[in-house]
C-alpha cells in the first residue's frame, strides 16, 4: 500500500478513527473509514454483524455472561464498549470465524450496569478453586501480585481510590495461608532485562523487524493474533511478568528450595481478566518442558482478579484495612520503581528506555528519562523522541484497543512516524484500568484512573532503585541460574511464540 503523505498527527488520528454505520440489504453492518477499511479489504472479509449483546463462549476462560442480570435490548453497553472503545466486536464476520472472537480484556465486566448493580458480564470466578489449593496439605501454594492491584484493592474496602496498600496486601495473603508471597514486580524487572536486550538486538544488529511491540498485555497480544497476524514478527518474544514469575517459581525457586515442582501451585493476583486466558495458553508450560514432566502443569495454575481476591478476604472475614504492613518474601520479592509503573500506560516504555540507556552507554539514565513525561498520562496515543549515545529513537504508546488498531494500521502503511519501539495496552490507562479491577465507578472515571496512576508514579519517585538492572534478586537469578539476559536458558523459560488466529480463508 502506498504511503500517505502530508498528514499531521491530529489529522491521522481524526481520520483513522472515523466510524460509520452502513445498511446492506437491510442488515446493519459496522463499517469503517480510512485505514481500518483497508484492513478489512486486505483480509477479504465482511465486518461483523451487530447485536445488542456481545456473546460469550461457554469455554471462555476469562468471562461469563449471566443472563438473569442482563437487560438485553434495553442496554447494549457491552456492545458499545467492545465496539467503540476496544474495536473488537463488529470487526469480524461471525460466518467465517473459528470461534466467538474475544480478546478476554474484560472491559465489558467493568462497564456492564447489570441489574441492581450486579453485572451480567463477570470474570470467571475461581475463588473456590483457590481455596481448595489453600486448604490442602498436598501443595506448596505460591502467589504473586501485580503492581496495579496494590493501588486499587483498598477501594473494595472503602479506601480512597489509588491508596497504596502493598503492605496490607501481603499481610492479607498471609492470612489466607499462601505459603510464599512473591511480587510480580520482580517479574517486571526481569521482563525489562530481557526486553531491552531484545530491542537492542533488533535496533543494532537487525535481528527481527522494527518497530518492536511490547508483549506483556495478553489482551493486546490476542488482538494482534486475531486482526493483525502479519505483524506478529514485531511482537517481543518476551513473556509477560506474570508468566516469567510463574516459570521461575516452578524451576528456579522449586530447585533451590528442594520442592517437588509437580506439587507447587502458582497463583497470580491480577487487575486483568485476560491473564486468565494467558495462563492457560499451551505455550505457557516452560517448567513442564524444563523438568520433562507433564504432571507439573502450566507455569501459572490460577489467576485471580482484584475483585476475586477481595471476595476471598470477605469470605474469611479478614479486616483488610486494619492489617499491619508486611513484606514480600525474598528470592523473588524485590522490585524497583521501574517495575511499579508497569501498571500504567507508558510505564513499560519508560522502564525499558531507562535500562536501554544503561545497556547502550553503561551509564545511569539522566533525570529526563526517570521522569519521561511524554509517555505518561491517559492520552490514547503518545509519542516521544530521544537521543541515546548519538542514536535517535522514536517511541510510541497506545492504550485502549481502538487506539492500538490505529497504530497498527499506520505501521502497515509503512510506519510513517518511523517508530522503533511501541508499547501497547488493551485497557484504557493500562493495567490500572484492567477488566479485573474494582467496580468503584461504573464506568470507571478518569479521576479514578488518574488516582491509581499517580500512586504508582509517587512510589517510583520514592524508590531507592528506579531502574530494573539494579534489582539485586534479578542479578542473582542471572548469576545463579539463567546466565545472562537473552541466554539459551532464558529463551527457553522466559520467551515464547504466538499463534495466527486470523480468519479462515
Q: Render pLDDT for 279-312 as a digit per residue (tens, 0 to 9).
A: 999 999 999 999 999 999 999 999 999 999 999 9
Residue 377 corresponds to which cell in the numbers above?
498520562
Q: Which whole number is the average pLDDT over 448-455?
A: 98
Distance CA 223, CA 104 (A): 9
What are the φ/ψ torsions at residue 283 (nearest 5 degrees)? -75, -10
pLDDT of amino acid 287: 98
Tell me which H or E stretch contains 311.
helix 306-315
Q: Is the pLDDT of residue 6 over 80?
A: no
Q: What is the pLDDT of residues 19-58, one digit of tens each?
A: 222 222 222 222 222 233 333 333 434 345 556 788 899 9
SS3 string, 188-241, reads HHHHHHHHHHHHHHHHHHCCCCCCEECCCCHHHHHHHHHHCHHHHHHECCECCH
Question: How large a percentage of the chain has pLDDT more than 70?
Answer: 88
Distance CA 56, CA 66 (A): 10
Distance CA 164, CA 49 (A): 43
Residue 227: which pLDDT band, with cuts at 50, 70 and 90?
Answer: very high
pLDDT of amino acid 36: 37
Longest pairwise C-alpha distance within the chain:
67
- Helix (H/G/I), strand (E/B), else coil: 303: strand
Beta strands 381-388 and 391-399 are: antiparallel
Is 307 within 8 Å of 426 (Cβ atoms)? Answer: no
| Per-domain residue ranges of the chain | 21-123, 125-495
Is 89 within 8 Å of 109 (Cβ atoms)? Answer: no
Q: What is the pLDDT of residues 315-353, one digit of tens each?
A: 999 999 999 999 999 999 999 999 999 999 999 999 999
Query: Hey, which residues are catalytic here?
Result: 195, 198, 216, 236, 275, 278, 283, 431
DSSP class of 323: P
Residue corresponding to grid cell 537521543: 387
Angle in degrees, CA 93, 122, 311, rounded to 5? 160
Query: 306-315 and 166-175 are packed helices; what angle lies between their axes, rounded to 10 degrees?
Result: 50
pLDDT of amino acid 99: 78
Question: How large a percentage of the chain has pLDDT more than 90?
Answer: 82
Q: Which whole number is the average pLDDT over 428-445?
A: 96
Angle in degrees, CA 88, 91, 92, rounded to 5? 105
Q: Is the pLDDT of residue 13 over 80?
A: no
The chain-wide mean pLDDT, for the chain, equals 89
DSSP 98-123: SS-------HHHHH--TBTTB-SEEE
Q: What is the pLDDT of residues 191-222, one digit of tens each?
A: 999 999 999 999 999 889 999 999 999 999 99
Residue 92: which pLDDT band, with cuts at 50, 70 and 90?
Answer: confident
- Cα dihedral value 22, 28, 30, 33, nearest 10: 0
Residue 180 corresponds to which cell in the numbers above?
510464599
Q: What is the pLDDT of residues 365-423, one digit of tens each?
A: 999 999 999 999 999 999 999 999 998 999 999 999 999 999 999 999 998 899 999 99
pLDDT of amino acid 89: 87
Lowest mean pLDDT across 1-15, 245-259, 328-342:
1-15
* Class for the domain spanning 125-495: alpha beta
Q: What is the pLDDT of residues 470-501, one digit of tens each?
A: 999 999 999 999 999 999 999 999 999 999 99
Tell me which H or E stretch contains 275.
helix 274-279
Q: How far is CA 148 from CA 110, 451, 484, 485, in A?
A: 16, 11, 28, 26
pLDDT of amino acid 30: 28
Is 164 within 8 Å of 149 (Cβ atoms)? Answer: no
Q: Is the pLDDT of residue 12 over 80?
A: no
Amino acid at each position: 500500500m502506498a504511503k500517505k503523505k502530508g498528514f499531521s498527527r491530529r489529522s491521522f488520528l481524526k481520520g483513522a478513527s472515523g466510524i460509520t454505520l452502513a445498511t446492506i440489504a437491510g442488515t446493519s453492518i459496522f463499517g469503517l473509514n480510512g485505514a481500518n477499511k483497508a484492513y478489512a479489504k486486505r483480509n477479504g472479509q465482511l465486518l461483523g454483524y451487530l447485536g445488542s449483546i456481545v456473546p460469550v463462549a461457554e469455554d471462555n476462560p476469562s468471562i461469563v455472561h449471566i443472563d438473569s442480570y442482563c437487560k438485553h435490548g434495553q442496554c447494549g453497553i457491552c456492545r458499545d464498549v467492545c465496539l467503540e472503545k476496544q474495536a473488537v466486536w463488529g470487526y469480524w464476520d461471525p460466518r467465517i470465524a473459528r470461534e466467538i472472537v474475544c480478546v478476554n480484556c474484560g472491559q465489558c465486566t467493568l462497564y456492564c450496569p447489570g441489574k441492581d448493580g450486579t453485572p451480567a458480564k463477570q470474570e470467571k470466578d475461581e475463588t473456590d478453586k483457590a481455596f481448595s489449593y489453600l486448604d490442602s496439605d498436598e501443595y506448596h501454594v505460591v502467589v504473586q501480585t501485580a503492581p496495579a492491584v496494590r493501588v486499587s484493592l483498598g477501594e473494595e474496602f472503602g479506601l480512597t481510590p489509588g491508596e497504596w496498600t502493598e503492605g496490607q496486601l501481603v499481610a492479607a495473603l498471609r492470612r489466607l495461608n499462601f505459603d510464599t508471597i512473591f511480587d510480580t514486580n520482580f517479574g517486571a524487572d526481569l521482563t525489562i532485562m530481557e526486553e531491552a536486550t531484545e530491542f537492542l538486538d533488533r535496533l543494532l544488529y537487525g535481528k527481527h523487524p522494527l518497530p518492536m511491540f511490547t508483549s506483556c498485555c495478553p489482551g493486546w497480544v490476542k488482538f494482534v493474533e486475531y486482526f493483525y497476524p502479519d505483524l506478529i514478527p514485531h511482537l517481543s518474544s518476551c513473556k509477560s511478568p506474570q508468566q516469567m514469575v510463574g516459570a521461575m517459581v516452578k524451576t528456579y525457586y522449586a530447585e533451590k528450595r528442594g520442592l517437588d515442582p509437580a506439587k507447587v501451585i502458582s497463583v497470580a493476583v491480577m487487575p486483568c481478566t485476560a491473564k486468565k486466558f494467558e495462563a492457560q495458553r499451551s505455550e505457557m508450560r516452560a517448567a513442564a518442558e524444563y523438568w520433562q514432566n507433564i504432571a507439573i502443569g502450566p507455569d501459572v495454575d490460577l489467576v485471580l482478579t482484584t475483585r476475586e481476591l477481595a471476595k476471598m478476604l470477605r469470605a474469611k472475614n479478614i479486616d483488610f484495612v486494619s492489617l499491619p504492613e508486611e513484606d514480600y518474601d525474598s528470592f523473588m520479592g524485590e522490585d524497583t520503581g521501574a517495575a511499579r509503573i508497569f501498571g500504567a500506560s507508558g510505564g513499560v516504555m519508560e522502564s525499558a528506555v531507562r535500562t536501554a540507556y544503561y545497556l547502550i552507554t553503561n551509564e545511569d539514565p539522566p533525570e529526563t528519562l526517570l521522569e519521561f513525561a511524554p509517555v505518561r498520562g491517559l492520552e490514547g496515543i503518545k509519542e516521544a523522541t530521544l537521543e541515546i549515545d548519538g542514536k535517535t529513537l522514536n517511541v510510541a504508546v497506545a492504550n485502549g484497543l481502538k487506539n492500538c488498531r490505529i497504530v497498527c494500521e499506520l505501521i502497515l502503511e509503512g510506519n510513517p512516524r518511523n517508530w522503533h519501539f511501541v508499547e501497547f495496552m488493551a485497557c484504557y490507562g493500562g493495567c490500572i484500568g484492567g477488566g479485573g479491577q474494582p467496580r468503584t465507578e461504573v464506568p470507571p472515571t478518569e479521576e479514578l484512573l488518574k488516582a491509581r496512576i499517580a500512586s504508582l508514579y509517587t512510589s517510583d519517585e520514592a524508590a531507592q532503585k528506579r531502574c530494573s538492572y539494579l534489582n539485586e534478586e534479578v542479578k542473582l537469578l542471572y548469576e545463579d541460574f539463567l546466565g545472562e539476559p537473552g541466554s539459551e536458558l532464558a529463551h527457553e523459560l522466559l520467551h515464547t511464540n504466538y499463534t495466527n488466529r486470523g480468519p479462515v480463508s
